[in-house]
Structure formats: C-alpha cells, structure tokens
Amino acid sequence: MTTPSEPGGGRLDPGLAAIMGERRQLTNLAYRLLGSLADAEDVVQETYARWYAMSPQQQDAIDSPGAWLTKVASRICLNVLSSARARRETYVGEWIPEPLPEPAEWFSGRPNAFTVDPADRVTLDESVNMAFLVVLESMTPAERVAFILHDVFRYAFAEVAEIVGRTPAACRKLASSARRRIRAAQAPATPAARQAKIIRDFKQAWEAQDIDALMGLLDPDATVIADSGGLASAMLHPIEGAEQIARSLAKIAGRLRGLTLLERTVNGQPGLVAQRDGVTVTVYAFEVAGDRIKHIWGVRNPGKLRPWAVRPERQETREQQG
C-alpha cells in the first residue's frame, strides 16, 4: 500500500490518525460483506491506496473522509461480490466463509509475529457467526450490501442508495428481502453456555466413536459441509441426516490419530479445531438449535486458516528446542 507520507512529498499528514482510525471499521465492513478476511484486507488496502492517490487539495475537499472511505470500500466489495460468484462456480467442492478465532488467538501470518494490530481484527458479534455469514452468501450482492450497511452498520437508506447506485426505496426493499432470508434461515438463539456444553459433548462422543451419542446430539435433518478448495482431503458434497453424519464421523475418528481436537471460539461461537503438531488443519463451526446441532461447517482450505496457523505456545517450544 502507498505510504501516507509519499503523496505529499514527505509532508506529515495532520489527519493521518483520523484516516487510519477508520481501518478497523473498514475491515469489519468488508469481512461481513465478503466472508473472507483475505479479500477484506485487499479491499481495505485498495481503499487507502485510492485515498492517497488523490492530491492534498482533493483530500481537503472531502467533508467526511470516513464516509468517503466507507463508500469506496463498499463499492469495491460490490465488484468483488459480483466476480466472486463466477470464481466460486469453478471452486473445488463447497465454499464456506473464512472462520476467525477470538482476537487473543489471532496469528498475523508474519514471521515471528503472533499478534496483529487491533485495527486488523474483526469484532466478533452475532453478525459474523458462521450461520449468519452462510445466509449472506445466498443473497445478491446488492441485497447483501444494503442489508449490512443499514441493519448492521446503521447507515441511512439515503447513504446506502448513494453507495449501491439505487434509490432509497429500492435499497429499503433490498434490505427487507435480506431480512426475510435471515429470519427464515436462523434457528432460535441457544445460550452460549448451553452451546458450549453441547459442543463439548459432541467432541467427547466423536473421540469415543460413539454413534448413538452423536445421533443424540444431532438434529435429525442436520448437515455437514466441508471446504477444502481442493487443497486438502475432504468430502466434496454435504452429508445429510443424523445417522449418516454420525456413522461418517465415527469412521473419520478412526483416522484422526495424531490429531488433537480442541474447544475454541469460532466466529464468536463455541467451535472445535483439529491440530497436528500444534498447527491447525481444520476449523469446525456449528449451528445449534435448541439442544441439537443443526449444521456443522468444516474448513480445511489452508488459505482460509491463516489466523489459526500456529499456536503461540507451540512456536515458543519450537524456538526453545532450536
């Protein structure tokens, strides 16, 4: 990305702190719109590149830099969403949004660095749980942008209209349509402590290859979807039904030697990760409805596991041994 001092020939930008202070907001917005941290980072970088490509006079003429940055980032996301549909038609297997750990466990992906700038972190609230992001994937790009900007980030429809390029009334309809999709797909909320207990019981039943216990924890119409992108071994099609899932999981458990299942927070919800030698190889996100697991998403695509790459304590051990 162009450095802040370059456009002005070495001048110190007095508004730099305010401009860069928008970075977290932009990252949060772009991740929710795209379901990919990598793509969100690219969008934020491109947004700032466009800002610093302007002359100081052009920058000074903008009344609200934050609003300008949001508008540009949202429009870039619209373009990315439109092209993403074509890309995903050639994606190997199912595509699942990129899972995120709780902020304290983020790995930056940079050598010898296990924490990232807080400005890079996504706020993990109900608008980023995996079930919510999966529903967003079923929306048109315009629906998704209108809904996220208005319902999540509280932008007025007049502002949304300027970004989407439609009338405020049209944007209101888009957001309303998106809202109906969310209501139709989402299960009633289960308390976090109860979810954690169900996931813990599921982990124990899976490790024990207890088919009956697994079936008792799964909704009769449960589904399992895996995402490897063709870069790791995984089923290419969803598994449906509690009995079929339980038997498949029991078979997989027999091949899990050398792997460790750990309880972790995934997109703000109780989840599991599978690690080999301290390195995360799969992240499991869940949707719990009542006392049963309704959906399981398993992400194995290494490109989507950057924030989970290595546990800090494992790396410290390696460095001490080295």
Mean pLDDT of 112-139: 75
Give the residue carrying structure tokens 């290859």.
209
Strand-pairing partners, residue 263, are 272
Residues whose CB falls within 8 Å of the CB of residue 42, separated by 6 or more in sequence, listed in order: none
State residue 117's pLDDT score. 54
Q: Mind listing the domains of the chain with CATH numbers?
A: 16-112+126-185 (1.20.140), 192-313 (3.10.450.50)
Q: Which of 271, 213, 211 is nearest to 244 (CA)?
A: 211
State residue 147's pLDDT score. 97
Mean pLDDT of 35-47: 94
The pLDDT-based confidence of 7 (bands split at 50, 70, 90) is very low
**Entry pTM:** 0.85
The two tokens of residue 314 are 């494992």
**Per-residue pLDDT tens digits for 134-156:** 999 999 999 999 999 999 999 99
Contact 282, 298 (CB under 8 A): yes
The pLDDT-based confidence of 236 (bands split at 50, 70, 90) is confident
Inter-helix orientation angle 37-52/65-89, to 10°: 140
Strand-pairing partners, residue 274, are 261, 282
The per-residue pLDDT of the chain, averaged, comes to 86
- Which region holds residue 112: left if phi is over 0, alpha if psi is between -120 and 50, else beta? left
Contact 157, 174 (CB under 8 A): no
Contact 295, 269 (CB under 8 A): no
Q: Would you call 181 helix, strand, or coil by DSSP? A: helix
Q: CA-CA distances (angstroms) from residue 125 to 130, 203, 216?
A: 11, 24, 29
Q: Which of 319, 305, 315 is nearest to 101 (CA)?
A: 305
